[in-house]
Structure 1
Amino acid sequence: MTFRSKFILVVLSAAIALYAIIGGWFATRAQQGNDPGAQLRIFESVLYHIQNDYVDEPDMSKVRAGALRGLAYGLDPYSTYLTAEQVQRYRAGDDKEKVGIGVELSQVASWLYVIAPVKGGPAEQAGVRSGDIIEYIDGRATRDISLYEAQQLLKGAPGTEVKLRVLRAGSSPLQLTVKRSPVRVLVAEARLETGKIGIIKVNSLSEGEAADIRARLEDLVKQGARKLVLDLRGVAGGSLTEAVRVANYFIGDGTLAQTVGRNNRTLKTFQADPQLKLFDGPAVVLIDRWTAGAAEVIASAFIERKRGDVVGEKSFGAGAEQELFTLRGGDGLLLTTVKWASSSGKPFLGAGVQPTVEVKRPELAEAIDPDDLTGNDTDEVVRPQDGNRPQNAPETGPARPQPEDMQLKRALEILRAKPEGSARPTA
């Protein structure tokens, strides 16, 4: 072995040792499988065989990059290894001139999973749906790249197109073409039902949306609303502070949410401001499997503060913050260091929020459930039933009759059974 090779091996071993220790943050030291020393010895053994037994002279810089990608991949979908070039672009914000397609994504069992397209955005207009799996982006297999890289591939100059191959339960693969454009989030929608029940359909919890939701709520109260449904279905992403403010409109005291760090240590608590509370009447929140992030803050506050029922299905489970750690070679690690959590400190990431009243949507019985994905190509939910030939997006035809919204129906039943002024959840 040459001196240069030995030097590279030592540097690589040191780097892997550091990240093996970082990986150990997410488990107890008592577990033998997570002992940093044991993991380091395994890596050293692998590196020894690569250096001495591999059939060709290995490119150790590529080996190092692959090792670091694998370490980050084993943590969560949002932690990732960045090359030196990616770190420079990340810090410089070079993608500010680029736009995306309006879609909230995660990675589930290696699959690039669509949590929800932005309502009215380019992805939704092109036919992308919640629960879809994006298999290819412009011919690039998404199972070979990180979530961060997939998000970067979707961005480009306004007006340019990106081609997606989409897997959907019960369908052959779809070939969709999406035109990139700035995403304009639709404001919240509101209406008054019989029985003095107001309904607010939230479309986003991004910056500034809490003020719009407040306006919708105040308008409904002026119209005579004494009970309320807050519909958070399909709301993914958004701002933690906006979510806390919306929850505060209904809950006037106590803790509404937390952020937690390593070992579930509380980093920050978000307390209700009594002066921001707007509505005292009975209220119900609607969630589904594509409710994620900021919307989960509101749903969990309703449950833990016993403010009202949460109706629907278990939410997706998201809400985390990353910090960029620059490495000696100029590359970096984008590492999750903060999780969003309920008022009692239960993180949403990977766990979601369980509704107090479970109601499934029959029309989504065949939709891909992330809990069913294993990462294997033999998964029934992603294996097309009509062959492998991609199809274009279905042509627009006569509108099909909409199935009855069973979740909303149950929410209205709960509220109609409550007297005005009562906010206690049902048994």
Structure 2
Amino acid sequence: MQIYKVGGAVRDRLLGKPVTDIDWVVVGATSEEMLAKGFRPVGADFPVFLHPKSGEEYALARTERKSGRGYGGFTFHASPEVTLEEDLIRRDLTINAMAEDDQQNLTDPYHGRRDLEARLLRHVSPAFAEDPLRVLRVARFAARYAALGFTVAPETMALMRQLSESGELQALTAERSWKEISRALMEDQPQVFIEVLRACDALKVLMPEVDALFGVPQPEAHHPEIDTGLHTLSVLEQSALHKQPLTVRWACLLHDLGKGLTPEEDWPRHIAHEHKGLKLIKAVNERFKAPKDCQELALLVGEYHTHGHRALELKPSTLLELLQSFDVYRRPQRFEEFIAACEMDARGRKGLEQRNYPQADYLRGAATAARSVAVQPLLEKGFKGPELGEAIKRERLKALKAYKEAASV
């Protein structure tokens, strides 16, 4: 039995990056031997075991063969005869197909270290094209390591394009796709993830609603970058620079989908794009089974982001309706995330990335003013039921009128 550290732990050590998760591969062992040593099996599909003390994953060296469609369409073979090189060749990228023994001696049969130094994301073997999930994984790695200068090797991009055109991407489950998408959006340069998917024609398969934004013009006076797709990439980039959570980043990606529905004869204006985009945002949300908080914020940002930009001009009654829509009294954090998404949208414009966004503090102040209305005095006056609700609404409107007047002085 020989044990090797493999994959990301080796890659990140060689890159000088912190190593978080460690995966191990065991050569020359059987499942029975692993169980005898106290390892705990993980599921029934893979020969993977948890270490009895550290809890880290140890997988028996295995080969795999394509047997069906999609990510799960593989037959695995694990036995003591499978070599380390045979195990490594089934991996996606050369930089993930290296192994180390306990003395840090490197096993690198597919030149992963060379590609690390060349800053290339290159597939290990033609079997790369058998797994459609790898299109998303490579795009995610491109987003992770873009700051280090990594790019996708042309021959790997060609295989990704082949996968995009094969129909295999449709075989991916919503759960697996979302796992990759959500991780990619939380990388330092999530816009690169979208750029790579678009470059290999996967974006128009996975998110045609986002792909449709490229080439759609906006008024140059408001959007110096003009192109709606490029604007979306910039908004996503800003969301990462400002360390926004996943909910905000997802909303940033989807906020302008309605502009993809504008007839060409109406360009560059996009009348009512906020409302038109809701059905598209809903479709993308459902396609990937995004978490509920991501779904809700994306829809609210899609519908109301222009309200956010015009906050200082809104009538108190419109401002109150906006606050009610977000249920700021019980869910203040959601409104805070809406404000963040609006600010990222404003900053995601060429040359305007550093411009102040006074709407943010104004909206926060409006929410505070509305929340400051006390219910108890109204109860003491005898209001109850629907009448109480109307009385609260009147008092909140009064508070917002006072707030607006004070802010404009």
Which structure has greater strand proportion?
1
- Which structure is higher in helix share? 2
TM above 0.5, one fold?
Answer: no
Greater relative contact order: 1 or 2 (C-alpha under 8 angstroms, separation 6 or more)?
1
TM-score of the two chains, using structure 2 as the length reference: 0.27
Higher radius of gyration, 1 or 2: 2
